[in-house]
Amino acid sequence: MIDTFISARRLRLHTFAATCLGFTVMAGAVQAEQRDIVIGAHEAGSHMYASGAAIAGLITKHTKQTGKVLAVAGSGVWMPMMEAREVDLGLLTHYQGWLAYVGKKPFPRKFDIRTALIGGGIAVGLYVRNSSPIKTRKDIRGKRIGYKYSGAPAIGVYAEGEIANAGLTWKDVKAIPRTSLYAGQREDVTERRLDVFYASVGSGISRELDSTIGIRFLGLDTSPAALANMRKVYPAVVTRVKAGPPGIREDMTLVYLSTYLVAYTKVSDDVVYRTVKTLWEHNAELRKSAKRLRGWSTDKFASEKAIIPYHDGAIRLYKEKGVWTPALAKRQKELLAGK
C-alpha cells in the first residue's frame, strides 16, 4: 500500500516535471524498478538548473533510467519533497546544504540528506544596472534590495552577508521580500522594481541582462574588518574573478560557493551509485556540456573538506575507483558523529 502510494505520487510529479520540460509521461509507466531520477534545482536560467539539466541528460543517455529536473524556487521547496519520495537528488551550495543537514535557520528542522558528490563552484555577488549611480557597496545604503527568499531560504543568508560586507544590516536598506532568486528577477531589473540584485556570475539571467541593458557586479570590500563582518553572518569563502564575464567589468573579489549534489538518505544505494558512476565515467562529456561545468572534475567528487556525510551508494563507487582513502573514511565518521 505504501509503495503504491509513493509510486502514484512520483508519477504525478514526473508527469508535472515532464510537462514542464516538454516530454510526455504515459499513465501506467511506473514499474517496480525505479525508472526516473528526479533532481531538484532552482529555476531555468540559474547555475543549478543548468547543472541539473546536464546531469539529467547524462543519466538518460548512459543508463536505463530517465533523468528529470524539477525547477522550483529552491531547496526550501524540493527538500521536503525528498521526504515524500518525490525528489531523489538535489543541487545546492555547500553551506545551504549544511544548514539543512543540521537543521539551522533558515531551515525549520533537519533534513536527512547525504552527499553524492562535490561539483564545481560559482562566484556570486551583488550587481546593479550599468547606468546605476551605485558605484561601491557603501552606496547601497537606503536602496531597494531583495531579501528573505522563502523558497530558497539560504539565499537570504547569503544576501545578508553581502550587505554586512558593506557594514550594513537589513535596517540600513529597503528590504523587499522575494520568494525566489530568479523568478521575477528580469522584471525587477528591467522595470526598476529594485536597485540592487544578487546572482551568480555567468548565470543565464546575468548574461541576458548584460546583453540587453547592461549590468555591473560590485566587488567585495576585502579589508579584514569588512570580511570579518561578512563572516559573522556565515563562513564565506572568497575568490578573485578576472574581468570578462557578463557584468564583470574589472577584476574583483566575490564570494565562491561550491556545489553539492545531495541525495535523500533513503534513496537506494544503486540509484546513487549509478548516478555518480555515470558522472564519473562520462566526466569529460559533463564538463564540455556547459562552460560553468568545467570545474566538475572527478578529483573533487570525494573530498576531505565535505561538510555533509556521503551516501553509501556514492562511497561504494569511490571505493571501486580507489579514491576512498582512510582520511575520507575518518572524515565520514566525524561527520556522522556531528563533528
Output the tens digit of pLDDT for each of the chain's 339 residues.
333 223 334 444 443 343 343 333 333 333 346 789 999 998 887 889 999 999 999 999 999 999 999 999 888 899 999 999 999 999 998 888 988 999 988 788 999 999 999 998 889 999 999 999 999 999 999 999 999 888 877 788 899 999 999 999 999 999 999 988 888 999 999 999 999 999 999 988 999 999 999 999 999 999 999 999 999 998 888 999 999 999 999 999 999 988 999 999 999 999 999 999 999 999 999 999 987 789 999 999 999 989 899 999 999 999 999 999 999 999 999 999 987
Judgement on whether residues 246 and 272 belong to the same structural domain of the protein = no
CB 154 within 8 A of CB 106: yes
Range list of H helices, 213-325: 224-233, 269-281, 283-288, 312-320
Residue that terminates a domain, selected from 229, 256, 283? 256
> Which of 42, 93, 101 has the alpha carbon at shortest distance from 235?
93
Residue that terminates a domain, selected from 204, 230, 256? 256
Q: How many domains is the chain partitioned into structurally?
A: 2
What is the reported pLDDT for 105? 81
> Which of 39, 41, 47, 48 has the alpha carbon at shortest distance from 66?
39
Residue that terminates a domain, selected from 222, 256, 290? 256
CB 69 within 8 A of CB 56: yes
Judgement on whether residues 137 and 215 belong to the same structural domain of the protein = yes
Judgement on whether residues 43 and 116 belong to the same structural domain of the protein = yes
What is the reported pLDDT for 5? 29
Judgement on whether residues 244 and 269 belong to the same structural domain of the protein = no
First to last CA, the chain: 39
Amino acid found at 12 = R
Q: Domain containing 298: what range? A: 2-121+259-336
Judgement on whether residues 138 and 246 belong to the same structural domain of the protein = yes
What is the reported pLDDT for 33? 62
Instruction: Give the CATH number of the domain where residue 81 resides.
Output: 3.40.190.10
Pairing of strands 215-217, 113-129: antiparallel
Q: What angle do CA 242, 98, 207 make, to 5 degrees?
A: 30
Pairing of strands 113-129, 144-148: unpaired
Phi, psi of 181, rounded to the nearest 5 degrees: -75, -45
What is the reported pLDDT for 89? 97
Q: CA–CA separation, 55 vs 60, rounded Å?
A: 9
Judgement on whether residues 277 and 211 belong to the same structural domain of the protein = no
CB 43 within 8 A of CB 183: yes
Q: CA–CA separation, 130 vs 21, rounded Å?
A: 33
CB 51 within 8 A of CB 122: no
Judgement on whether residues 269 and 249 belong to the same structural domain of the protein = no
What is the reported pLDDT for 193? 97
